[in-house]
Structure 1
């Protein structure tokens, strides 16, 4: 129950922001970017830094940073899958159950032959595409449905 209440609180806080839909959408999109990279727990801090540098909404960026954190194993796998589309070498990671965080990061960072090129290309492509998608979804929600969503969330 605590998780449901907390998520409702952050949704209300997000939709009550006085910023323009563009500012909020850019904050959320840029805040989500660090989720595609191994940030070792400092993703939300990086999201805040990116938001400050880009002069977009800080709260939306931090929320964007927190949204993707639990999905890290899926994002890690997706980075390899997308990166392997551009390289003939098979990936070391083939399923979510095989993603062991520290081993995978060590293999990725250790050498260029271990698949780090696949991982980085996949991460950059995924970050770019997800940012565009998140921007348009959040912009549309804020532009068209901000008031109705706030009304529904309150009760």
Structure 2
């Protein structure tokens, strides 16, 4: 029980750390929000062992949109080792629903080491499912981040004004 609580506390602290790190970034709220959206977009693609595909996609998208690259890199952690199986399962379900490709694959019992065994058809399904999942999640991430950064900066400005008086 104590070990589970400590894992939960560590995860909570890690999430708060990255949240604060994003809030403290330099740049306009638009640039930060767009960077987070690019990172979430890249983070929705499957992790391929040995290839930093998520980070490459996020940074490339942030260059194209002229947004904050560090926010994009941080936001790729939307998919992390704790939730890869869930992401792959959702990506696989979306991909098999929308593509006429049939692959025998059980995401519930899958491990990252099995990635190369699913072949190009399986990778295509996961990539397409990741793209379809990435679009609405990155749009939501943009608006949520824009709201949070603006609210945080407004509060910070009000605090600074109240200290001067």
TM > 0.5 fold call: yes
1:60 and 2:57 are equivalent in the alignment: no
> Would you say 1:144 and 2:155 are equivalent positions?
no
TM-score (normalizing by structure 1):
0.73
C-alpha distance in structure 2 between counterparts of 1:117 and 1:34, whole Å = 16
* Residue segments in structure 1 that go unaligned for 5+ positions in a row: none
Instruction: Please say if 1:29 is aligned against 2:29.
Output: no
The alignment of Structure 1 onto Structure 2 pairs a total of residues equal to 145
Stretches of structure 2 lacking an aligned partner (at least 5 in a row): 1-8, 160-165
Shifted more, 66-75 versus 140-149: the winner is 140-149
Query: Structure 1's 72 and 6: CA in aligned 2 closer, same or farther, altered over 3 A?
Result: closer
TM-score normalised per structure 2: 0.69
Give the equivalent residue in structure 1 for 2:92.
80
CA distance in 2, matches of 1:9, 1:44: 21
Q: Aligned pair in 2 of structure 1 residues 20, 39: CA closer, same or farther (>3 Å)?
A: farther
C-alpha separation in 2, matches of 1:20 and 1:56? 9
* Separation in structure 2 between the aligned mates of residue 106 and residue 84 of structure 1, nearest angstrom: 17
Distance 1:136 1:10, change over 3 A: same
The RMSD of aligned alpha carbons is 2.9
**Residues 32, 146 of structure 2: 8 Å contact kept:** yes
